[in-house]
Amino acid sequence: MTERPVSDNGYLWVMYAAMPLPEARRIEQLVADFRCEFSLSHLAEVKGGSADSPLADAIVELWVHPEDDARLLARLRADPCVPACSSAEPDAAPDTAGI
């Protein structure tokens, strides 16, 4: 398994992904009771928008406290609508494949 990046405050990287805003808000609710850093940015250029690919109008970046890591990952992975965790390197272009 590759080592995940660690922020300056010791939090572990979980995800950096483009997605529809409602999905981003749902993830925000899923992780609300964990010690984590959740950031949501709106995309200036919207991606997707076909019947097979919903609009990706937000970027989610998520970092988690090491003690909450296993529980947070389990919660996210149990939800079939959440994109794969560790979908791109932090500070890289968002993963818009399939969007």
- Report yes or no on 45 lying in a domain: yes
In a domain, 7, yes or no: no
pLDDT in tens, the chain (99 residues): 568 899 999 999 999 988 889 999 999 999 999 999 999 999 877 666 666 667 888 999 999 999 999 999 999 999 888 876 654 445 554 444 443
Tally of domains within the chain: 1
Q: Is position 84 within any domain?
A: no
pTM of this structure? 0.76
Tokens 């409602």 found at: 22
Q: Domain for residue 74, yes or no?
A: yes
Residue 39 belongs to some domain of the structure: yes
Cα(52)–Cα(39) distance, rounded to whole angstroms?
Answer: 26
Structural domain including 33 reads: 12-78
Buried-state track 38-59, b at ≥16 Cβ within 10 A, e below 16: beeeebeeebbeeeeebbbbbb
